[in-house]
Structures are given as C-alpha cells and as structure tokens.
Amino acid sequence: MAISEQKKGRVIFHIDMNCFYASVEMAYNPNLKGKPLAIAGNPEERKGIIVTSSYEARAKGVKTTMTIWQARKLCPELIIMKPNFERYRLASKEIFKMLAEITPYVQPVSIDEGYMDVTDTKGLGNPLEIAQNLQQRILNELDIPCSIGIGPNKFLAKMASDMKKPLGITVLRKRELAQTLWPLPVGQMYGIGEKTAEKLNTIHVETIGDLAKSDVYELKQLLGINGERLKNRANGIDSRPVDPDAIYEFKSIGSSQTLPDDTTDWNEINSLMLQLADNVERRMKRKNAAGRSVQITIRYHDRKTITRSRKLQTYIDQKSDILFIANELLEQHWNQEPIRLLGITVQDVEEKQQLGQQLDLFTYEKEAKKEKLYAVIDDLAEKYGKNLFKQWEENDKKDNAQPRTSFQKDFLDDYKK
C-alpha cells in the first residue's frame, strides 16, 4: 500500500529538525555547542547570505537571508561556516531510516522535515510514547534535536511542530483549536505568506480564528480556490494522506540563487544564468529526466517577483537548450531594474524511460558528445568571470552536487537505499 488509508482517527506526526544545518555541525564538532553559529553561502565575503543559524545566534537577532555583515553587526562573536551538503544529506538519510523503522508511511518533504502516519503501529506504545522515544533516539544516536507535532491530519501536525522548539512535542486536537490555534495571527498559519496575510487583513481577517469563521464566498473572491482551502485548514480540515511515493512525483526541477547585491550588470547576470542552467542539468541527469517547458523567476530589488515560461515542442535536458530558452525569456521580460534573485526551472518533467518515442535518442547521443565542450566553457567562466558566488568543494561539481543554499527534493528517497 503506497498511501496511508483515509480513515477516521488518524494519528499523524510532523517531524521537524531544529536548526538542522547548524545542529549537524554541532554534532560533528561539540565545541560549537552553546555558541552562536551561522551557516552562510559565502563566509569569506561580507556580502554572503545566512542560510541558517543556531538558537544562540537567533537570540542575538541573526536571521536567514541576512547578509554576513548585518549578522556580525548584531552578533560580533558569530561563528560562520560554509555548508557541508554531503554531511547534511547523510544525517537526513539516517533520520528518515529511523522513521521508516516505525511505519512504512513516511513522506519526506525536505531534507529536515517529513510526515509519518502512525495510526496502525502496534506494540510501540501510544502516540506520545512513540514520539518521545523517536525524539530521544535521534538525539542519542545523531546528537540532533527535533520537534514533533502530533495531530489528526498533516496540517495540524505541521502547525503543532512549530509551537515548541527546540525538542518540543506538541499535540494539536480539533476540539482544542479555539484555544490553541485560532488566537494566533493569520500570518503564522502554514500556507499563508506575507502577501496573503496582507490581503486577508484588508477584509478584517487578523487571526486564524477570523479565517475559520470567514465567508467562503468572500475568501474565494479574494484568493480564488485557495481561499476555501485555507478556511478548511483553519477549521482543522485536511484530508491529504501521508504518501511515501510523493517524493517520486516531481514535475519540475529548478535552481535559484540570490545575488550578493541587486544588479543590472549583464556580465554578473549572465554568469549566474550559466550556473543555474548547469545546476538544473545536473539534477535532471540524476533523475534521468527531461522536460518540455522552461520557466524563469526574477525577483527585483523591491522584492517584486515575476515568473515567465515557455512550452516547447520537444523534451530537453541539456544545459545549452535550457540556457538558450531561459536567456530568451530573460531578455523578453526583464524590465532592466536591479535584480535580487534569479531562478531557472524546467517543468513538465518526465523520466526518460516513460517518454518512449517522444524522445529523439539520436539528439541525446549527439548532445552527450558536447559535454567536454561544456566543461571547458564552465572552466573558463570560473577562471575569468567575476567571482560572485562561493564555489563549494570540487566534489560538489559532480553529478551529486548540491545547491548552494537549499535542497531540491530529488534525493529524498536516499534513505530507502
């Protein structure tokens, strides 16, 4: 059975690793414990971006996406390290193995969080005992703290795991929503971002309770079909099953990067586009996949973000093709204002073995011969291009290379291997 059954009285866990990157580094080097630690995209440069930080650093005001110089101004004693993605992947793999020993219904959603359906676990104690034992095992064996939310569905379990950190275990029941969930600001609800919260505020929806009691027609007028979905969530309604196979349902593969400075310099932008296309190609090769739609994301200096895409006649998986389409989209839709972030995503992705006759195998064979040329181009770009971004260890340039500040989901089945 691939999906946990939809039944009454389900018991769902949401497992959330606390300050995961920083916690892993502390597990490898206990001397870091109790100290303000940040993982940053480019520790050697003041303009590097903070990826995550320890609770000690957060207590001093250090936040994700903050530049290093801003963080050091708030916390002069801050210890800054570059990410070790292979180390984080290994830790994640071991954690999800532990979860899978309890139930086959485990759904990873990122490197440091996932869902479990423990409804039918027998002989392991009640849900609270299972959560306590799991939390303690991860801490004892890996020295990594986690918080666990327990609820009758995925949404409530997710909200519960955020309520007590670090090392929290929180139960969120439907009958308690009026006391526990509804008084919270609507912006604290999972699935509601800053812009959506601002829209809801315009119709006097300030708290999650306000949302739960709002008129569904008015919500749909404001937010479309998402309005009704959010109202249901606020009332504790969520029928989504825990699906272990969801990790295989990738329809897009992408890469994005924040620039150290907002820029209009075409050389800097072009260099980043090359790197993004290279990242996407590597991830597609790892999944043995191809796609037939290319999308770019542009975030401007004022945080305004646009996405533009183009549907293709044939499937592609090569960097040169991805980059060509992405650059055309950029030239057509960039308004020449300073850019803060760029992203390239290949959509409508399928595994090659599923495509059958849709793929021109001769084209792929011909393009494969160009790999040496691509490698030379990359080497020249690195050698002579402007050094905007920290290059990770040489191993990260291979097919198992990881993104600089976030993880794609195409490795989340590693714990099954």
In sequence order, which residues have a C-beta less than 8 Å from that of residue 9 and are 6 or more positions away?
119, 152
Contact indicator for 163, 41 with CB cutoff of 8 Å: no
Q: What is the DSSP letter of 51?
A: E
pLDDT digits (tens, 9 = 90+) for 142-188: 999 999 999 999 999 999 999 998 999 999 999 999 999 999 999 99
Pick from 278, 400, 273: nearest CA to 326? 273
Q: What is the pLDDT of residue 41?
A: 75
Give DSSP secondary structure letters for 283-318.
Answer: HHHHTTEEEEEEEEEEEETT--EEEEEEEEEEEE--
Characterise 350 by phi-psi region: left (phi > 0), alpha (psi -120 to 50), beta (else): beta
Per-residue tokens: 318: 């090569």
Q: Please report the pLDDT score of residue 359 as a whole number.
A: 43
Task: Give the number of residues written for the chain.
Answer: 417
Domain 250-386's class? alpha beta
CA atoms within 13 A on the CB side of 394: 1
Placement of tokens 């037939």 in the chain: 292
Pair of tokens at residue 204: 């006097």
CATH number of 28-84: 3.40.1170.60
- Interatomic CA distance for residues 277 and 256, integer angstroms: 10
Question: What residues contact residue 379 under an 8 Å CB cut-off, 6+ apart?
Answer: none
In this prediction, residue 400 carries a pLDDT of: 40
DSSP code for 207: B
Question: pLDDT, tens digit, for every residue of 40-57?
Answer: 876 666 567 888 999 999
Q: Encoding tokens for residue 260?
A: 């150290």
Cβ–Cβ < 8 Å for 201, 210: no
CA terminus-to-terminus distance, the chain: 19
Q: Sign of dihedral through CA atoms 134, 135, 140, 141? A: positive
Look at residue 393 and give its three-state secondary structure: coil
Residue 307, strand partner residues: 297
Residue pair 399/252 in contact (Cβ under 8 Å)? The answer is no
d(CA 16, CA 6): 23
Query: Residue-wise pLDDT tens for the chain (417 aa)?
Result: 455 555 568 999 999 999 999 999 999 999 999 999 999 876 666 567 888 999 999 999 999 888 898 999 999 999 999 889 889 999 999 999 999 999 999 999 989 999 999 998 888 899 999 999 999 999 999 999 999 999 999 999 999 999 998 999 999 999 999 999 999 999 999 999 888 999 999 999 999 999 999 999 999 999 998 999 999 999 999 999 999 888 766 678 889 988 888 899 999 999 999 999 999 999 888 888 899 899 999 999 888 889 999 999 888 999 999 999 999 999 999 999 999 999 999 998 887 766 654 444 444 444 444 445 555 555 555 444 433 333 333 333 443 433 344 445 556 667 776
SS3 call for 148: strand
Among 351, 283, 277, 384, smallest CA distance to 320 is for: 277
- Three-state secondary structure along 355-380? HHHHCCHHHHHHHHCCHHHHHHHHHH
348 labelled ligand-binding: no
How far is residue 291's CA from residue 273's CA, in Å, rounded to a whole number? 18
CA–CA dist 18, 101 (Å, integer): 21
d(CA 60, CA 55): 9
Is-contact 290 359, C-beta < 8 A? Answer: yes
Catalytically active residues are 113
Nearest to 307 by CA among 317, 315, 297: 297
What superfamily does domain 12-20+86-175 belong to in CATH?
Reverse transcriptase/Diguanylate cyclase domain (3.30.70.270)
The 3-state DSSP composition of the chain as helix, strand, coil percent (nearest 5) reads 45, 20, 35
Domain ranges of the chain: 12-20+86-175, 28-84, 182-234, 250-386
- Do 49 and 41 touch, CB atoms closer than 8 A? yes
On whether the CB atoms of residues 70 and 206 are closer than 8 A, the answer is no
Class of domain 182-234: mainly alpha
In angstroms, rounded to a whole number, what is the distance separating the alpha carbons of residues 160 and 168? 9
The pLDDT of residue 367 is: 46
Residue 410 marked ligand-binding: no
User: How many angstroms separate the Cα of 191 from the Cα of each of 41, 211, 381?
Assistant: 27, 13, 39
314 CB-contact burial (10 Å; exposed 0-12 / middle 13-18 / buried 19+): exposed
Contact predicate 297/342, CB 8 Å: yes
Give the DSSP letter of residue 412.
T
